[in-house]
Amino acid sequence: MRLYAAVAAGGFRRYATYRGATLAGVFTNTVFGLIIACTYIALWDERPHLGGYTQEQALTYVWIGQAMFAVMVLQLGGGFEADLMDRIRSGDIAVDLYRPVDLQAWWLAQDLGRAGFQFLGRGVVPVCVGALVFQLALPADPLRWFAFLLTLVFGVAVSFALRYLVALSAFWLMDGSGVVQMAGLVANFMSGMLLPLNVFPGAFGEVARALPWSALLQVPADVLMGERGAAGALAFQGMWAVVLLGAGRLLQRAATRRVVVQGG
């Protein structure tokens, strides 16, 4: 555990060195938050209580989404997956597999460190700006904030598991950029980044809320706003984390047994 804690700390320090990129990300998330918030105001003026949200809750959802964009890597390419795919293509993954550490746990620890920095570096400031400009439905109960932070940890685990599956596709594909782009589009839409999943009608909405991508944004936002119980939310996220991490382990086993490492 001390080893993986050190790996997580290293992941935090690695992203902390890119100060210019962090400032640019804060600025971008803040600007997009302002634009989307104004769009939501117009939409909720026409359709009050759309998706069961008040306008204040809808605006809160916007800023939570901007805060979570980098934390959950809702646009693939900002996490570990690019590095892992490069190592698979170059053949360096063979060295990683011989190390006395678990490959999946190593990358998970590093990604948790990355997510911790992104939350502090790019997540807090946009929400503070949103709270200054708009009336948000942020809770005063510290227990709800604690439950929200727990859902973020579980959400990062689900996000990692999804991206790990995408990265492992490089064992079979010479160029996984197409898979990364498709996975990014799906994550953006099905996580609720474009619109809350509560807005989706009928069976489509029920399916969208049951899929693992909802654990990345919709579930944490609902817990923060008191629209969903913490116990049920954590159980949902934990279930998908276990399923997807198990699928990643099985896919890794299949890849390392039957696929020749590219590069030699």
CA distance 145 to 221: 11
Taking the chain (264 residues) in runs of 10, the rounded mean pLDDT of each run is: 91 91 93 96 93 95 95 81 88 87 94 95 94 94 96 97 93 82 90 93 94 96 95 97 97 80 53
Contact present, 103 and 256 (Cβ < 8 Å): no
Within 8 A by CB and 6+ apart from 2, the residues are: none
User: In angstroms, what is the C-alpha Rg of the chain?
Assistant: 19
What pLDDT shows up at residue 82?
87
What pLDDT shows up at residue 91?
84
For tokens 């935090």, what's the residue?
Answer: 12
Question: Does the model's pTM come out above 0.85?
Answer: yes
